[in-house]
Chain A
Amino acid sequence: MSDGQSKKWFSRRKFIKTSTVAVIGGVATVGIISVPVLRSERLLLRPPGALAEDTFLASCIKCGQCLQVCPPQVIELAGINQGFGIGTPHIIPRVGACILCKGLPCVLACPTGALDHQISEGKEAEMGLAVISRPQTCLSIKGINDLVFKLADLEEIKSREELSVELMHIITKLLDRLTAKEKHSLKEQFDLIGMEELSAFDLRDEVMKDNLQWFVDFVKKSEQAKRGCRICLEECPIKEEQTIRFLGQKSNSSAKEEIWPIIQKTCVGCGVCEEKCPTAAASITIVPRLKWTGEAERNNLLPISR
């Protein structure tokens, strides 16, 4: 071997040795130092049964099986900005909320117990807590009926298909709330007297025939329009116990009494109320991992912590 060759060989050996020490040392240092940095402070809403955040992050194997079995397909995997949460499941309730399925398939699918197998029902979950984070827009507090509010929004809708879908939602809700007398006057108006039960489909078709303005006026005048929005409670998947109570409180700004939704201990933080809240930005939102206290019941004016 010539001198040049052996020098080359020697420098290659040296590179391998020094690079080994550098790589191992570098990774070990970065690994330890990055832990507090990569521990994201922002809490995500986890699927039902999730262990305490740090234990959850340690237990989750990032396989995504909970996502695969989720019937409403609302579970997503966290991205690069989530530190050690990369690839872990979370739910964005405004986009699609957990509906607390019977049997909790996501919990059953979890191979590592990061979603704790000890819970078997939605009402046992402790995902977080709903709070009225924007009381200034809350329809209940403002005393505005949700169907009247939604009908006002319909004017913005241009496409007929979209209008028909939205109208169907409104009519289905409305029929549950109308008095017998009001239903009868609806039948008279649209010549549907012969029908035993007023069907939402028929009513929708009639309203779509240029009767929208009349219908809006009818809803405004209906008995149920006197009541403020209660969508959050109506849509809540926990039916056994009341999760939200509507209580009158004295207003800070005027002499009028305001009806405040007060979150009860039974709320598990599934987020359906946030998803269904009719205001432009949800007035009720979920604070992940928040635990209910009596404090929160008396005054649920908690700031949005994100």
Chain B
Amino acid sequence: MKIDFNEPKVKTFSGPGKREENTPQPGHSGHKWRNIRWGVLLFFNLLFFVSFFMDIQILEGSLSGSRLLGFHLIDPLAAVQVILASRILVINLVIGVTTIILIYVLFGGRTFCAWICPYHWLAELGEKIHLLLKKKKIIKNHSFDKNIRIYFFVLFIVLSLITGFTVFETINPVGILSRFIVYGPSLMLSWVLALLLFEVFYSRRAWCRYFCPVSVSYHIIGLATPLRIKWDREKCSNCKRCQQVCLVPHVLTNSVNKGVALYVDSGACTRCGLCIDICDDEALGYGLKYLDNII
């Protein structure tokens, strides 16, 4: 295939859009949704901790599997691995996964990542350091294929089937971190630390963006949920600052670059609200696809 180098691949107002990884421009300090989100994230992780530490038994377990007021909640990827590795179907797993699916159909798919996952929060802090180092030209960012996490999702499911072990759960930084919060430190934290260092010095927020297979199950759920980021074509001045702060910038392409999607249509969107906070035009907000018109 002949590649035409003269044809610009990056266009500003059509095509994939300009996505230079700059920090947001000065003059905007709204952090409303980020603060709410961090509050929710810390609240739930703290709830895991106090449920055990103070024995109040509201949210028992860790992020791979827990009971909320006695109702089973099970991470879908962990459940699939357990079922395929052990070749035993336990009804609790089905109940737990169904409950999780129902919850995230209501609250929007990868909401789990931005609003619950403790690794995501560390990664956000790591990203700030990464951007600072990059601004001072100490490091360079490296991108990977964002589909790797989908390949990983399939790969680890296949691995659990052929090896008979829940291979991914052994290295799952979400589970390791969640167990650390509830039960105290273990040496496995060094793996989480290594991941963070990789993100800070080599590739911006790499685990969540490119590698994490846990996010894929929530990605799939997110395709079916009404809760989405809503885009107002009339108000938007097309400044693209939303894409600069977006945790998964490609999800906004169909809206702010192509102008064809009034609701962010990608399952990869984490509903984090950073784009809403940054938007001076008030063109972005939370909305309910299919339901906004009815209500």
Contacts and interface: CB of A to CB of B under 8 A. Distances in A.
Interface of A: 1, 3, 6, 9-10, 12, 15-17, 19-20, 23-24, 27-28, 31-32, 34-35, 38-39, 51, 54-55, 57-65, 67-69, 77, 79-81, 83-84, 86-87, 109, 111-114
Contacts of A17: 145
Contact of B144 (A19, A55, A109, A112): A19
A63 B65 contact: yes
Interface string B67-105: 100001011001100100111101011001000000000
A80 B186 CA distance: 7
A39 B166 CA distance: 12
A58 B145 contact: no
| Chain B CB within 10 Å, residue with most, of A39, A51, A86 | A86
Given A57-B165, A112-B82, A1 B159 contact: no
Contact of B5 (A6, A65, A81): A6
Contacts, number: 155
Interface in B5-49: 5-9
A20 B183 contact: no
| Chain B CB within 10 Å, residue with most, of A28, A35, A58, A84 | A58
B163 A61 contact: no
| Chain B CB within 10 Å, residue with most, of A1, A23, A62 | A62
B64 interface: yes
A60 B78 CA distance: 10
A15 B51 CA distance: 46
A80 B188 contact: yes
Contact of B90 (A62, A79, A112): A112
Contacts of A81: 187
A38 B152 CA distance: 20
A109 B72 CA distance: 10
B134 interface: no
B237 interface: no
A112 B52 contact: no
A67 to B, nearest CB: 7
Contact of B170 (A1, A16, A64, A84): A84
B176 interface: yes
Given A15-B142, A20-B147, A87-B176, A59 B186 contact: no
B64 A62 contact: yes
A32 to B, nearest CB: 7
A112 B97 CA distance: 12
Interface in B138-169: 142-145, 147-148, 151-152, 155-156, 159-160, 162-167, 169
B148 A77 contact: no
Contacts of B164: 54, 58
Contact of A1 (B5, B166, B182): B5
B62 interface: yes
B61 interface: yes
B175 interface: yes
Interface string B88-131: 10101100100000000000000000000000000000000000
Contact of B61 (A27, A60, A68, A86): A68
Contact of B165 (A6, A35, A114): A35
Contacts of A111: 61, 65, 67, 72, 74, 90, 92-93, 96
A35 B163 contact: yes
Contact of B6 (A1, A10, A16, A55): A1
A86 B6 CA distance: 53
A77 B183 contact: yes
B86 A59 contact: yes
| Chain A CB within 10 Å, residue with most, of B79, B96, B167 | B167
B5 A61 contact: no
Nearest to B84: A58
Nearest to B203: A19
B144 A28 contact: no
Contacts of B186: 77, 79-80, 86-87
A79 to B, nearest CB: 5
A258 B211 CA distance: 64
A272 to B, nearest CB: 24
